[in-house]
Amino acid sequence: MQTMMGIDLGGTKIEIALVDAIQGVIYKDRVPTPQHAYNAILDAICALVDKTMGQQKIPLPQAIGIGIPGCLDPSTNRIRGSNTVVMNGKPLQQDLQHRLGCKVHLQNDANCLAVSEAVDGAAKGCPVVFAVIIGTGCGAGIAIDGKAWTGNNAIAGEWGHNPLPWPSAEEIQIAPCWCGQVGCQETWISGTAFAHDHARHTGERINGEQIIAKMRAGDLSAQESFARYVNRLARALASVMNVLDPDAIVLGGGMSNVDEIYQALPSEIIRYTFTKPIATPVLKAMHGDSSGVRGAAWLTK
Ligand SMILES: [Zn+2]
C-alpha cells in the first residue's frame, strides 16, 4: 500500500505525517498555526507538503487527508464551527486542491481520532466507535467500519453541545456556551469545565492537572471534584449508549490521560443506561497526540 499523507490542522500547530498501513507514522513535521490569516494557513500547509516531498523524495500523493476543528458545511462546501475563526466561511478544500494540485479530504478532528483508533488503535476492529476529545473543549466523532460517519448535515458527533442529561438542582443553574445555547455538556465535562467546577466549589483556581495531583495526594475537595466530573461524564456517555450503543468508547485529549477515569467510569455509566450490564469498554486513545494526523491520513483510503 502506498504511503498516506495526513495533516492535523490544529488551533496552535499544523502537523504533517506520512503513514504506512503496517509501520504506522514514518515521518512527522510541524509548524505553528498562523491563526489570524487564512492565506498564511494555506501557505503553511503547502510549504509543509513541499518540504515533506523534498525530504522524503516522494511524488505528490493523489490525495491528502486533513483533520480540522469544525467541519465542511455540506450545503456550501465552506468551513464552519472552527475555533480557528479565520477559516470559517472559507472554501478550504477547494483552495487547497487548487494550490496543491491533488485531491483533499477534510474531516473533523474528533472523527479523525475515531478513525485512527478504530483502524489500528485502542478500538482496533470494533465496527462502531465513539471517540471523544476532552481538552479545552469537548468534541466527539463516530467511526463505522473504520470510516468517519459525519451524518446528513455533518453534525454527527456534536454531542458536546447536547445538554447535560439528568441534571441536579445545581446543574440547572445553567451556564452559557460559546455555541449560543446554554448548559451544553462541553460546559460541564471539558477540562476547562473541570477546573471551573472545582473553583466554584472550593474557591481554589487551579488547573485540571493540579486538581488531579491534589486528588492523588488525598485531598478531599479534589476527590469530590473528580467524583462530580466522572459522574457528569458518565451521564453524557450513558446518553450515547442509549442512542448509538457503540462497540467501544475511546477517550482522547488532555483529560484522557487521567487513568483513574477508566476505573471509575464503567460503574457510573451503568447507573444511567436503560439496560444493564453494559459490555462496552471505555478505552484510552492508543496513539495520543498522533491520532489526529493518523486518522487524517486514513481519510485518503
Ligand atoms: Zn454549546
Domains of the chain by residue range: 4-112+290-298, 125-285
Nearest to 73 by CA among 83, 95, 86, 88: 88
**Same fold yes or no, 4-112+290-298 and 125-285:** yes
Q: Which of 106, 105, 71, 103 is nearest to 89 (CA)?
A: 71
How far are the Cα atoms of 74, 133, 169, 283 from residue 288, in angstroms, in the given order? 29, 11, 36, 12
DSSP characters over 84-139: SGGGTT--HHHHHHHHHSSEEEEEEHHHHHHHHHHHHSTTTT-SEEEEEEESSSEE
* Ligand 1 centroid, distance to 17 Cα (angstroms): 31
Residue-level pLDDT at 81: 83
Q: Which three cell numbers stand for residue 232?
A: 457528569
pLDDT of residue 43: 97
Ligand 1 centroid from CA 284, angstroms? 24
Write out the CATH class of domain 4-112+290-298. alpha beta
User: What is the distance in A from the centroid of ligand 1 to the CA of 134?
Assistant: 14
* Ligand 1: centre distance to CA 158 (Å): 9
Distance of CA 184 from the midpoint of ligand 1 (Å): 5
CA 63 to ligand 1 centroid distance, Å:
33
Return the closest-CA partner of residue 104 out of 29, 30, 46: 46
Ligand 1 center to 80 CA (angstroms)? 14
Q: How far is CA 96 from CA 37, 44, 65, in A?
A: 15, 11, 11
Alpha carbon of 77 to ligand 1 centroid (Å): 23
Residue 78 CA, ligand 1 centroid: distance in Å:
21
Domain 125-285 falls in which CATH fold?
Nucleotidyltransferase; domain 5 (3.30.420)
What distance in Å separates the CA atoms of residue 167 and residue 239, rounded to the nearest whole number?
13
Would you give per-residue pLDDT tens digits along the chain (301 residues)? 579 999 999 888 899 999 998 888 999 999 999 989 999 999 999 999 999 999 999 999 999 999 998 888 989 999 998 878 899 999 999 999 999 999 999 999 899 999 999 998 999 999 999 999 998 888 899 999 999 999 998 889 999 999 999 999 889 867 888 888 989 999 999 999 999 999 999 999 999 999 999 999 999 999 999 999 999 999 999 999 999 999 999 999 889 999 999 999 999 999 999 999 999 999 999 987 788 899 999 889 8
**C-alpha 159 to ligand 1 mean position (Å):** 9
Residue 179 is placed in which grid cell? 455555541
Rounded Cα distance between 132 and 154, Å, is: 16
Task: Give the Å distance between the CA of 124 and the centre of ligand 1.
Answer: 30
- Give 182 Cα–ligand 1 centroid separation in angstroms: 7
Instruction: Quote the pLDDT of residue 1.
Output: 56
How remote is the CA of residue 130 from the centroid of ligand 1, in Å?
19
Beta-strand relationship, 128-134 and 138-144: antiparallel
**103: CA distance to ligand 1 center in Å?**
32
Q: How far is the CA of 112 from the centre of ligand 1 (A)?
A: 21
Query: What's the pTM?
Result: 0.86
